[in-house]
Amino acid sequence: METTITATELARNLSDVLNRARYKGETFIVERNGEPVAKIEPPPQPGITLRELAALLAELPPLDDKMAQLIDSSVFITLERRDLTIDDLTSVGAEEPFAMSSVSASELLVGVHLAASSRRKGRREAFVEHILRNVPVLPFDLAVARTRARVWARLTVDGTPISRDDLMIAATALTYGYGVLTDNVRDFVRVPGLVVRQPAWS
């Protein structure tokens, strides 16, 4: 609503006019000698930056649960223990295009170095190298680092932190628009906006 006032009235009631414009959203047309000379209106509402918009969108769940999945190292470890291969991933729930984080790749390689015997090491190394040749590996780059920082801060404030490696994996998934397929559902579900699924082991 617009209210017309004279320049004299504005001078006498400046504080009141400004308060009504700011707090009540009123608009004033100021006239002098019957001609409009100025307009006083509420300030524009604060907007949102592209970075803030991207952060908000990252926390929204997807419209469709069919999405690419980042396979957590816990799933590959279970495959090895059950004497299964990556070809069996589709039977446990990895129906969509999938990849893995470079962090998970490192975790699997650590397992090779920590094998209890040379025979076990040889078998595990062959298993891991087969995975690394056939499953795309998403890097931990600057974009992922920014996501990790934002999520780490959020979880710290909320008092629900998760491990460093899991946080890096979650940040990778969020940055690239992936869900996470994991046996460690309890920790990953703490991450806002992350779609988490558990394999359907038989």
In one-letter notation, the amino acid at residue 167 is: L
Judged by average pLDDT, the poorest of 20-24, 94-98, 154-158 is 94-98
Percent of the chain with pLDDT over 70: 85
Is 95 part of any domain? yes
Is 84 part of any domain? yes
145, pLDDT greater than 90: yes
CATH number at residue 18: 3.40.1620
For 153-162, what is the mean pLDDT?
93
What is the pLDDT at residue 186? Answer: 92
- Per the structure, the complete domain to which residue 11 belongs is given by 2-40
Total count of domains within the chain: 2
47, pLDDT greater than 80: no
Note whether 56 and 32 are same-domain residues.
Answer: no
Percent of the chain with pLDDT over 90: 50
190, pLDDT greater than 90: yes
For 121-142, what is the mean pLDDT?
93
What is the pLDDT at residue 98? Answer: 86
What is the pLDDT at residue 180? Answer: 94
pLDDT, averaged across the chain: 85
Is 45 part of any domain? no
What distance lies between CA 56 and its chain's CA centroid? 8
At 53-103, the pLDDT tens digits run: 666 666 655 544 556 889 999 999 998 989 888 888 776 666 668 899 999
For 140-149, what is the mean pLDDT?
94
For 27-46, what is the mean pLDDT?
83
Is 147 part of any domain? yes
Note whether 76 and 156 are same-domain residues.
Answer: yes
What is the pLDDT at residue 192? Answer: 92
Most confident of 19-33, 46-60, 118-132: 118-132
What is the pLDDT at residue 63? Answer: 43
Cα 146 from Cα 131, distance rounded (Å): 28
Is 78 part of any domain? yes
Q: b/e per residue, 108-142, with b = 16+ CB within 10 A?
A: beebbeeeeeeeeeeebbebbeebeeebeebebee
Higher pLDDT, 67 or 184: 184
